[in-house]
Chains A and B, each alone.
Chain A
């Protein structure tokens, strides 16, 4: 005769079995003295455990605050969260407007210095951004700059815009993209725009005669799984890309946010399926080397 396994007796005493299982065990117990002894031993063990655990109680009795008090805390927390979010949006727009314009100068200068330092080319580290020659990578593509005219400006333009696009900026059909490793991309003096601390999935480069006019697209992934795409390149090329993306806009509730930033003749475009203010926070963490 099969005896009842001990875990089943625990489950039986814990009333964790179905009615049918319990009946089966009870009918076995009725005819099996050994299992009855085992059941009594387990019942004793169970009571002993409960008694031991009951000593693990605080000396003071547990007073339950009124439910209304918890509701009040919940309202406070919700209101505080809303305030924080409003404040963060405000602060982010301020930071974006002032800080990033300034910061982007800095990183582009750094990138230029790096280029000048690592490559023996005609590029001069002191040359102003506006004189950087924009070389269209593909001859048959007509760049369609949007917004303010780039060429007519005599000083770098700092601009931050926020669009809602239905799709990430799609890589133009023309032009050859190659996949590059982060180390090699950085080593070859390319500007690799990426958010510090996020794993890089892929880097794609569209080559141009000088590395400063190459387009670099970086794909990173957030902990929530959302893809963040950042593309950096000459503004004329980028404006065309951006326009392509706008042209394919079909709307939709889960359209990704997009932030673009222009400094002088350079432009950077970042898209992800996350709220716009989160995207701007990511933009603040951007590194280019």
Chain B
């Protein structure tokens, strides 16, 4: 079966006077029906722009330079604004990070849900209210008949995020794009929203493109993960394999830098800083901070298929189709070193998890 959404060789950037500044470079991925793909990266990695490109909601200063976006076999790029409006909300819905900013403060929650229903012709004025209440019920808002008449400021952060998800679900989309949907929430509320998203996905067969910088959220939610750095996807993998054995030096370094190990011990920090937009290094974006860098890294590494649904863009992994013996020769010690320093399975010690989750552990 063809994927629900496929993004191929997408390049997005900003026009600055005479030159084009790329922010997303040659990004390809696809999402199957009912699947969760996490796009993980730090600020400036291009993950949000990638998502906005799919919905064609880029800021006016940005543009898609090249690439193809195919949804349900249909090419999205030539579609006009009117046709995109038919797709947004109805087929592909977006959940924003800041529910407070995404909701209008001057309309009730109910009227904001009803607006979506009526715009897409899913309800009449008479039936819309009842549907809005049902949608709030779907996202587990308590007392939906009362909440539907309330304004966003009367709701807690968690309930506002639920209301926003209710709006996104109003027209029964098959793909939900969620941009850091829990970043503004406390960890206990985050857990509830993640549970809700997972539950909705099961019940409604939704595909989820989840954009996050939080590896914990990725571990909980993802079927597959695409790791972005400096505008490129550097590694793509099924979630379990990625956490078990990250391959790209960036993913490995990031995972080993997470606090863990003996309390008080020095963390394995990554040197340097994230390159700002317009200053992405030529070649591999991570090379200047990478402990394993060697001569070839000054040119962009191709995607190497590692099998098992894993691809990585790094010269440490000579392509299976195109073995590059000269690379192997120049870096044997580096490979050995990097494998030694590769993190083992990341986990919280079992006693801690038991302690924190055992209700009888008084």
Chain A partners chain B: no
Please give the residue numbers on chain A whose beta carbons come within 8 Å of chain B beta carbons, in ascending order. Answer: none
Interface residues in chain B, defined as those with a beta carbon under 8 Å from any beta carbon in chain A:
none
